[in-house]
Amino acid sequence: MELRIDLAGRTVLITGGEAASRRAVRRYQAARATVRRLERPGDFNPSMLDDVQLVAVVDDGQPGWAQVEQLSRLRRIPLTHEEAALPNGSVTLVGGGPGATGLLTLHAAAALKEADVVLFDRLAPTADLPELAPAAELVDVGKQPGHHPIPQREIEALLIALALAGRHVVRLKGGDPFVFGRGSEELAACVEAGVPCRVIAGISSAIAVPAAAGIPVTHREVSHLFTVVSGHAPLTDDEHLHLTGLGGTIVVLMGVGTLPQLAAGLTRAGMRQDMPVAVVERGYSPSQRTTTGTLATIVTAAGSARCQSPAVLVIGEVVRVGLDLAGAAQLAALPQQLAVP
């Protein structure tokens, strides 16, 4: 059972050594509670419970905390147990999904709860970060198209420096860390520096954002494969030929800026001019929007609609499947209906 209590202005006694209880202290301070500390069981005095509304016991391995618990119960003071903070610094690379807090995995939410510092990206789910990571310092290291205020190498150096200082660092990314997220570069930097690092997979926008628009990336007897492509830079003629020859569905991330080159390249490679194309902007946000067309018309349609990133492009017959489904009653609960020009 989870209870939410307004602790603003209330006194909370937190037990445990400084290192073990550091996260609990920050969390209760963030809740605007008045924090009273007890680092050693031998220093306990019953008067410390005077005017205390909550006792948070951090089990740091020291014997003797039972007496604090017993007297708290006798005085009918609410009691909670907090996990001790990790003794050594580490890095956790977390995939945050396409931006909606509800699409965070349970493991991702648990990592954020235990974080000392969160370095987050522009497309990560940030709206509820103060609640998800109540004990953490929140640092925006996000990049925007053509503007990287904190270069990647500096982000990696910051991850390592914070971890070596004994802090648990969460690197929160949009989508999945290993799908165009440079997570493998950050993992390699941690390994080289001898910093413990783990990876928590996230839901990639390559499948989640089309799904939010009602577009399946595969569909029986329509498409049995899909290819995920980065649209950050124009593709080569050989890559256009390869994509056209594979068939199936093409999903392009970060591709709004290179859409004209992509459409022209696939046309030169022999793709049908009436191939359906969709541009899904701002997936899972209140302003989610889908613009559709064909390979021959999508550049004009996207220009008229003033499509902007973040957006996911979907090329293939599955777009037509999505359009057919859009009129069905069972899709009424989707964040946004398909907007067909």
Q: Which of 6, 43, 59, 121 is catalytic?
A: 121
Token code pair at residue 115:
């974080």
What is the phi-psi region of residue 166: left when phi exceeds 0, alpha when psi lies from -120 to 50, beta otherwise?
left
Q: How do the residues of the chain divide into helix, strand and coil, expressed in percent and rounded to 5?
A: 35, 20, 45
Token code pair at residue 130:
């103060």
Q: How many CA atoms lie within 13 A of 113 on its CB side?
A: 10
CA–CA gap between residue 153 and residue 156 (Å, rounded): 5
C-alpha distances in Å from residue 47, one per residue of 42, 75, 81, 150: 14, 12, 21, 50
296 phi and psi angles, rounded to 5 deg: -80, -25
Q: Is 6 a catalytic residue?
A: no
By the 10 Å C-beta count (0-12 exposed, 13-18 middle, 19+ buried), 270 is classed as: exposed
What is the phi-psi region of residue 8: left when phi exceeds 0, alpha when psi lies from -120 to 50, beta otherwise?
beta
Q: What is the DSSP string of 303-337?
A: HHHT--SSEEEEESTHHHHHHHHHTSGGGTTSSS-
By the 10 Å C-beta count (0-12 exposed, 13-18 middle, 19+ buried), 193 is classed as: middle
What is the phi-psi region of residue 315: left when phi exceeds 0, alpha when psi lies from -120 to 50, beta otherwise?
beta
CA dihedral 107, 311, 269, 182 (to 10 degrees): -40
Q: Is 143 a catalytic residue?
A: yes
| N-to-C CA span, the chain | 48
CA–CA gap between residue 207 and residue 234 (Å, rounded): 22
Residues 6+ away with beta carbon under 8 Å from 181: 95, 173, 174, 175
Residues serving a catalytic function are 121, 143
